[in-house]
Structure 1
């Protein structure tokens, strides 16, 4: 959230404070009166579209510049995650025709699921105290669309979907180059640093569930079979299942890869209370 605010707050504040009427879709343009008192004249559709394009190009350029400067501000765990994603997708699609696929894999999260929703609904992400008014609300929506076009690496399909976004194309094309450069730097995290981060996170992983653990033990076969329960105390995190005889005892950890197996490779059937 701190990273999101650092990148978006200046742009979002400017959008809200300017309260400019912005529209690129000719079918939705509302012609307004412009000029000083006594000299009012209707603003033409062409003027509305041109001024809107200028405003959105300025906002999009400012946002991409802020993003380009934010590599070091991005949380290390996010950088490590994107590094893995970028590397695995590039290994899966190595051909030159798939050059943009690793970048789009990252921007699918970075733009579509992170920045764009916050731009459209700033209040939900605590960027503003109130939702945008009717005059202002169209600007964040169009800006989010432009960000997503950049994130899609300006594909023909993306352009064809809303042809009226064409006035933003020069800034979008420049933004693609900026975004690719940003992602290249973002995923350039040393493997050693990534491993250190993973170890740190595994030590700091908060419990998902903890409490009594009952291990069911079975002895014998057929009619002579008997069973009993052994009570332990467990702590389950995203990394490991740990258990001990009492809550205050030192816990033994099992691998997160198979938390139902003890250190001797024996299966531990258990019931969580």
Structure 2
């Protein structure tokens, strides 16, 4: 008898110590494949293995150098039990040391779990086909990468942009994703991403003939923006969508409106009301979230908006569709349909919830598409039931909300929300404030005050509903940072820097302190004179407690969390990203050389190109400039090759003669 399973794969990256116990693991899970004994998952998962002294220390699987050899990939196959507990079907274990810098695609026999029970026969458990690849980066000190890094960072200044090192990198890589991810991280780390995106977007727009297709393709510009939004927009999605996504997943209401997919007993009108409720709630959260949008995203949207208006000067709506094609279609709508991918939910939702999220995502895409609610657009819906659903939306109301939201997120200046004569009230509450100018530490220096934050000003009062004692205009706030507990021997303190003496405030608890810091950071994110450095401690008794500097107005000793709240800061190892880019150039060296030959030929004569199949798809706008950049890339990569060869030789020679790293008979 053939059993029918609802199959799901659970993947673990495991560090094994003191067998048979498992010390650490990083876990991921596939979608459920229902009603099959021969599931095909076709999903790709990445596990980032880092050492504690390198790269980011957030959300990574960290190991010590000697532990890397003990890592293994464990793949478990389970029968998804829905309401009951999942049933274990079998597992595979692949040690990382057998994968070193290689790829394995093979069938693996599923094994029983190691629990001393030998009742299961391995032949009875079936087999699983996997493609596993382990890549190891050998990162040198920063000075080794200076030539290649500088070549990449000046890409936005190269004319034309297609002759730049960053553009050529993405041209020669077979899979642009491999190149875009480290490139975006590197440019982001060195504050060069916005001008590069603007340059490649301008090139993209040259080939765009119709305004309604703007930024809809899978070009270098769109991929760069997509990766940027994934990196810097995590916290933005969390504060905007997570509460409503949690509600949908944990207390789902039936929302199916396709007559073909309705179950017996379902009421399409009730389902349509439920779907309308969810769409309204998601849409409302999005259009009210502009104040939380990271500054970098705003800067990119601002550039795209103005480039689009320049390319299509006679279309008044293109400046909005250029931004909405990213923020609605490629950011919010994608996060709604795949919340687990953006860490809004721990796992992929069940089938019914997934269908609800898909319908909501379709609605958000359409609502966010500028001018999509016209009658001509409604009649072009592939699904008749979606057309009927959208007739319940008021076109002008939603269009104006989208317009206002896009105006807010694509502006580089802090401004009042349009149509409002009064400031928006954001937060208020009672906390303790330290009297400014006092030099001694004491309880009497701290007074309980009522604080109020609006979109225009930050004030404090003796009591609620009283006139403010002191007012700080939002535009004057330079930074909002935590204050070291050692300053006044008090917990939950933060400081507001505004040009005069710092305002030191103690919240009632750590949650309240974080909420105030986040609220103040959000409302001041567009201030033009934000500080880059601050003092994490107070200035008392003639010196700063943190750095011992004796001048009160000296530059701070710690880097500010700058544009966004502290928990959204991005830690990037620029050297590691440059090493990855070097590896990509090395792999594609033959393409670089053929492209160099092509540029040389074009520079000499305008005759037919040699071997057109090898480089006919490359963009060569200026053969001389491209040739010059290619020569620099090849020379730089060859020098790095020499450094890697010397390191590998040294590593091999230092290994014990006759060991795996230095086997007998190897030519030194």
Tell me what 2:271 maps to. Answer: 52
Distance 2:257 2:324 in 1: 24
Check whether the contact 2:245–2:344 (CA below 8 A) recurs between aligned residues. Answer: yes
Check whether the contact 2:254–2:274 (CA below 8 A) recurs between aligned residues. Answer: no
Which of 127-136 and 167-176 deviates more?
167-176
- CA deviation profile, 1:108-143 (whole Å, cap 9, x unmatched): 111221111111111121111222223322110000
3-state DSSP of counterpart to 1:27: coil
Distance 1:158 1:122 in 2: 27
Matches within 5 A, 1:64-103: 64-95=283-314, 98-103=315-320
Tell me what 1:232 maps to. Answer: none
Give, in angstroms, the shift of residue 146 of structure 1.
Answer: 0.1
3-state DSSP of counterpart to 1:26: coil
Distance 2:324 2:378 in 1: 14
3-state DSSP of counterpart to 2:352: coil
Q: Using a 3 Å threshold, how does the CA distance of structure 1 residues 49 and 99 change in structure 2: closer, same or farther?
A: farther
Distance 1:14 1:169 in 2: 26
Tell me what 2:258 maps to. Answer: 25
Tell me what 1:142 maps to. Answer: 359
Tell me what 1:181 maps to. Answer: 404
Matches within 5 A, 1:123-272: 123-153=340-370, 154=372, 156-157=376-377, 159-161=379-381, 162-165=383-386, 166-171=388-393, 173=395, 174-190=397-413, 206-207=574-575, 208-209=577-578, 269-270=635-636, 271=638, 272=640
Ranked by relative contact order (alpha carbons within 8 Å, sequence separation 6 or more), the top structure is 1
Check whether the contact 1:82–1:106 (CA below 8 A) recurs between aligned residues. Answer: yes
3-state DSSP of counterpart to 1:130: coil
3-state DSSP of counterpart to 2:292: coil
Check whether the contact 1:86–1:187 (CA below 8 A) recurs between aligned residues. Answer: yes
Instruction: Provide the TM-score with structure 1 as the length reference.
Output: 0.64
Q: Using a 3 Å threshold, how does the CA distance of structure 1 residues 14 and 159 change in structure 2: closer, same or farther?
A: farther
Distance 2:260 2:338 in 1: 24
Gaps of 5+ in 1: 33-42, 214-256, 262-266
Gaps of 5+ in 2: 1-233, 415-525, 533-561, 564-571, 583-624, 642-668
More helix per residue: 1
RMSD: 3.4
Distance 2:243 2:286 in 1: 12
Distance 1:172 1:11 in 2: 22
Instruction: Provide the TM-score with structure 2 as the length reference.
Output: 0.28
3-state DSSP of counterpart to 2:341: helix
Check whether the contact 2:378–2:390 (CA below 8 A) recurs between aligned residues. Answer: no
Check whether the contact 2:302–2:412 (CA below 8 A) recurs between aligned residues. Answer: yes
Name which of 331, 335, 341 aligns with 1:118: 335
Distance 1:84 1:157 in 2: 28
State the aligned residue count: 203
Larger Rg: 2
Give, in angstroms, the shift of residue 23 of structure 1.
Answer: 1.2
